[in-house]
Amino acid sequence: MPGLREEMAHLELPLLIEYGVLPEEKEKALAVYEKYRFSAAAVSLLRCYYSDLPEAREEMAIDLKIVASRQGADLVVLQSTRHDYIYLHSDGQVVLLGEFKNGIKDESILRHFQYKNPDDFWEKTGPSPAHLPSMHAAEATASPGVCVACGVADGELHILGCPVEQCPWCESQLSHCNCRFDQLGVGTIEDDQQLDRFELLLERQGRIPFKAGQNPSYPTAGNDPPPFSDAS
């Protein structure tokens, strides 16, 4: 006989939400689901949360925040009404790492996302996930073959500065990694000459064209920080 957890995992997400939240929060919780329902990554995260509520806390999910993305894996913070949880999402699999306030202790995960140690994670992320960009809420009519941020088609190069573009050196988000500073040997990109030089270095290394699979778990351009400002 399957256990309760296995049975819950097969229920439709709206039904999981009805089981998992207080009656007065049901309408708002379903609205969050509707916001993200066309994003496969977001639905996987919400399903994982509601099918196995951390500490059995009946709290609705209010948002999903991107911490870092690299090589098809994402660190995501799920914000509930009273707590923030870090999840690892990769290849459709979702793992709860713990509460955001406790940070990340797993050295292999820190290395994958290019954090030197737990202190480096806090320095780059900050004490609260509130400022982090929300996951992209895909639309039913959106073409999976078009970049949601800069509008280029599958196989085309992103417009320089697009937050979806992957770095050709480390394969994380080009607008978030430190490779631009490392390659230029500077701590801040301050003028057009440096930007032109970096663009030349990008061309020599080989920029990574847009692929349809990049869209679901990347943040929208409007929520992203300026891509070539200073090192975080």
Q: For residue 94, what pLDDT is reported?
A: 92
Whether residue 127 sits in one domain with residue 169: no
Whether residue 110 sits in one domain with residue 12: yes
Whether residue 164 sits in one domain with residue 49: no
Block residue for tokens 């509130």:
130
Q: For residue 78, what pLDDT is reported?
A: 97
Three-state DSSP state, 161: coil
H or E segment and range at residue 97 = strand 93-99
Q: For residue 8, what pLDDT is reported?
A: 45
Q: For residue 20, what pLDDT is reported?
A: 87
Global confidence as pTM: 0.59
Q: For residue 228, what pLDDT is reported?
A: 40
Domain end, chosen from 112, 131, 150, is at 131
Q: What is the spatial distance between Cα 48 and Cα 93, in angstroms, rounded to a whole number?
A: 9
- Domain containing 192: what range? 142-232
Q: For each of the chain's 232 residues, which pLDDT tens digit applies?
A: 344 444 444 457 888 898 889 999 999 999 999 888 878 788 889 999 998 899 888 899 999 999 998 877 889 999 999 999 999 998 778 999 999 999 999 999 999 998 999 999 999 888 999 888 888 776 554 455 677 666 677 788 887 777 788 899 998 888 788 998 999 999 888 887 888 899 899 999 999 998 877 664 433 333 444 334 444 4
Three-state DSSP state, 173: strand
Three-state DSSP state, 90: strand
Output the six-digit token pair for 216. 């679901």
Q: For residue 225, what pLDDT is reported?
A: 41
Whether residue 83 sits in one domain with residue 19: yes
Q: For residue 151, what pLDDT is reported?
A: 65
Q: For residue 73, what pLDDT is reported?
A: 86
Task: Count the residues in the chain.
Answer: 232
Output the six-digit token pair for 46. 């919400």
Nearest CA to 136 out of 156, 162, 109, 99 is that of: 162
Residue 210 is assigned to a structural domain of this protein: yes
What are the distances in angstroms from CA 47 to CA 11, 28, 53, 109, 232?
9, 16, 10, 22, 32
